[in-house]
Amino acid sequence: MSGVDLSVILGTVDRPERLRACVESIRAGLAGSPGFSYEIVVAYGAPGEVSLPWMVEQPDVRPILGWMDGAIPAFNSAYSASRGRFVAWINDDVTVRALSLSRALTYLSAHPETAAVAFRFNRRGDGLGLRHSTLNMGDSLPIRANQGVARRKSCDAIAAEIGGFWGDEQHRAHHTYGGDNAWSVIAWWLGLRVDLVPGVDCVDWSLQTEDGLRAANVASVAPDHSQRWRAIYNPYIEQGRARDRRAAALAKAHGGWRC
pLDDT-derived band at 155, boundaries 50, 70, 90: very high
pLDDT-derived band at 51, boundaries 50, 70, 90: very high
Domains defined for the chain, CATH in brackets: 4-253 (3.90.550.10)
- For the cut 60, the answer to whether the pLDDT of residue 213 exceeds it is no
What's 57's DSSP letter?
T
Question: From CA 229, how far away is CA 223, in angstroms rounded?
Answer: 10
Which residue did the predictor score with more confidence, 133 or 148? 148
Question: From CA 99, how far away is CA 132, in angstroms rounded?
Answer: 17
Query: In which order are the strands placed within the sheet that holds 120-122?
Result: 94-96, 201-204, 120-122, 131-132
Predicted TM-score (pTM) of the model is 0.83
* pLDDT value, residue 132: 43
Q: What is the pLDDT of residues 67-126, one digit of tens each?
A: 666 778 888 899 999 999 999 999 888 899 889 999 999 999 999 999 999 888 765 555
